[in-house]
Amino acid sequence: MKLELLVFVLCFSFQFLVSRALECSSSKVAYTITVSQSGDANFTTVTDALKFIPSGNNQWIKILLKPGTYKEKIEIQQDKGCIVLEGEDRTTTKITYDAHSNTLESVTFAVSMDNFVAKGVTFENSYNIIQKDTVPGVVPAVAYKSYGDKHAFYSCGFVGFQDTIWDDKGRHYFKSCYIEGAADFIWGNGQSVYEECEINVTGEGFITAHGRESAGDTSGYVFRGCSVSGTGRVELGRAYRSFARVIFIDSKFDNVINPEGWSIWHQEGHENDITFAEVNCKGPGADTSNRVPWEKKLDASEVEQYTTQAFVDQDGWIAKQPL
């Protein structure tokens, strides 16, 4: 191990002994480690770089990925903290794997810790993309899972077919990201804002499947200024649980949205509890004249509840992360 890395480990291990703070101690990166498949970096795999970060870390550590396709299956456990994963560009820097069938075990990249930032990286599950023309039907194959609070993504890519993003727990913010899939490809119980994201529909299915379980549950998906296009036909969402909540605001829909727009799925009788809504959306797919009758109509005060600040950034955590 290089001397500077050894010193880093000793310093951060001592820090953990004297401080068990759950929050990141500043908004600046304390240390950067590099990953390159060519060997001209601290590590050749993302997995080894993550192993290097000590448990209980509370200072921002950046993992800088050099361009390449990293075939790795990764889970960042809850005992880590304060990590930035940054690639050169989502078109040149990819983490991919092809696990499938079992949803929990299929995830290419899973984050269970709090305080995580990704920028300029694509997360992919390649299984259905490769197999969909050669086998009957598709199976769950997750590209990315968020299961922690205060996760932010900037100019990232998420590529799959079924269950692409498992957006499942905590507050999450997606800005200028590319998301590809067909069947329930943004799903779970997260409390998330997707802002100015490009959503590419590649088959028949549903964009979202949200799992809000009660009226007091703060979770939901809000899409602001996003674009939806592609080669498939989808509904904007179906109710994964009885109080599902998905709102599209100021977004543009190409002609890929089915006229009914939304599906009750297995939650019949809960139409009044589900919040599916469209506000000021445009494009050939935004005609709401044939939408399901239980789609919600939000007034101005209700729409204000779904700004980025009001919905996920009440304590200003986004500005405290290193960008």
Dihedral (CA of 115, 311, 186, 91) sign: negative
Helices (H), strands (E): how many in the chain? 5, 24
C-alpha–C-alpha distance, residues 199 and 207, integer Å:
9
- Can you tell me whether residue 316 is helix, strand or coil? coil
Helices (H), the chain: 3-18, 46-52, 127-131, 300-303, 308-311
Is residue 226's pLDDT more than 50?
A: yes
The pLDDT of residue 22 is 64
Average pLDDT over residues 102-120: 96
CB 236 within 8 A of CB 258: no
The helix (H) or strand (E) run that includes residue 202 is strand 198-210
Burial class from Cβ neighbours inside 10 Å (0-12, 13-18, 19+) for residue 198 reads middle
Domains of the chain: 65-79+86-311 (2.160.20.10)
Q: What is the DSSP string of 217-269?
A: ---EEEEES-EEEESSEEEEEEESSTT-EEEEES-EE-TTB-TT-EE-TT-TT
The pLDDT of residue 131 is 63
Residue 163 designated active-site: yes
pLDDT digit string, tens, across residues 166-205: 999 999 999 999 999 999 999 999 999 999 999 999 999 9
DSSP character at residue 161 = S
The pLDDT of residue 15 is 44
Of 264 and 4, more confident: 264
Among residues 163, 167, 168, 313, the one annotated as catalytic is: 163
Residue 184 designated active-site: yes
Is residue 135's pLDDT more than 80?
A: no
Strand order in 116-119's β-sheet? 29-35, 60-65, 83-87, 116-119, 151-154, 171-175, 191-195, 220-224, 245-249, 275-279
Is residue 303's pLDDT more than 50?
A: yes
- Can you tell me whether residue 310 is helix, strand or coil? helix
Nearest Cα to 279, choosing from 231, 214, 226? 226
The model's confidence at residue 136, banded by pLDDT at 50, 70 and 90, is low
Is residue 123's pLDDT more than 80?
A: yes
Among residues 114, 167, 168, 184, the one annotated as catalytic is: 184
Average pLDDT over residues 22-28: 87
Is residue 19's pLDDT more than 60?
A: no
Which stretches does DSSP call E strand in 66-156? 68-71, 74-76, 83-87, 93-97, 109-111, 116-119, 122-125, 144-147, 151-154
Tell me the pLDDT of the chain averaged across its residues.
92
The model's confidence at residue 95, banded by pLDDT at 50, 70 and 90, is very high
CB 273 within 8 A of CB 215: yes
Burial class from Cβ neighbours inside 10 Å (0-12, 13-18, 19+) for residue 298 reads middle
pLDDT digit string, tens, across residues 39-86: 899 999 999 999 999 999 999 999 999 999 999 999 999 999 999 999
C-alpha–C-alpha distance, residues 263 and 286, integer Å:
16
